[in-house]
Copies of this chain bind each other. A is one copy, B any other.
Amino acid sequence: MRIIAAARDLIAEAGPGVPMARVARRAGVGVATLYRRFPTRDDLVAETYADQHAECAASWRQVVRDSDPARALRDTILRLCATQVVDRGYTAAILGGRGLEDERMEYDRALTVLLDQAKAAGSLRPGIGVGDLRLLLAGNAGVIAAAWPAAATASRRFVEHMLRSFEAPRETSRQGTPTQC
């Protein structure tokens, strides 16, 4: 559908705050037509990302059953952050946009499961929570914006820093007994 394709391109370029009038212009439809189909920008954003979210949700269900929770968490974060490089819109929408509340709760639930599993396996520093993953994603958005056109390389290095900081201290992970530090 033309409107969704236009919204997808524009949100990827400019983030989920892109003006409705720009979406209408890009899609070659009148603003009234756009608003008739999507009464608010939130409706448009939610519809734009419906397919992508369904795919992600399927991969969440897979990933929380991974036998290696540290790897599952790491792979999930790397995949999310790589998505941010090519599509500003989706993670921005998931991070803070309205219209995707259910999806955001689903993300938070899946991430919480991943974090709990990684903590139980002793691979994660105590005290790390979903809020820290949000800091990572928000920081990654800043790195991508500043480092363009070298965003992919800069983002990867940045994410490795954050992942290292989330790791359990060496002594702890060796002994398998997490302690506060």
A interface: dominant SS: helix
Tell whether A25 is near chain B: CB-to-CB under 8 Å: no
Query: Which A residues have a C-beta under 8 Å from some C-beta of B?
Result: 95-96, 131-132, 134-136, 138-147, 154, 157-158, 161-162, 164-166, 169-171
Complex CA–CA separation, A157 to B145 (angstroms) = 21
Using Cβ atoms and an 8 Å threshold, which residues of chain B touch A157? 131-132, 135
* Apart from A135-B158, A138-B145, A141-B146: 16 A-B pairs, beta carbons within 8 A: A132-B157, A134-B146, A135-B143, A135-B147, A135-B157, A138-B139, A138-B143, A138-B147, A139-B142, A140-B142, A141-B145, A142-B142, A161-B161, A161-B166, A162-B162, A162-B165
Can you list 30 A-B pairs with a CB-CB distance of less than 8 A? A131-B157, A132-B161, A134-B146, A135-B143, A135-B147, A135-B154, A135-B157, A135-B158, A135-B161, A136-B161, A138-B145, A138-B146, A138-B154, A139-B139, A139-B142, A139-B143, A139-B158, A141-B142, A141-B145, A141-B146, A142-B142, A142-B143, A142-B145, A161-B161, A161-B166, A162-B165, A164-B164, A169-B170, A170-B170, A170-B171
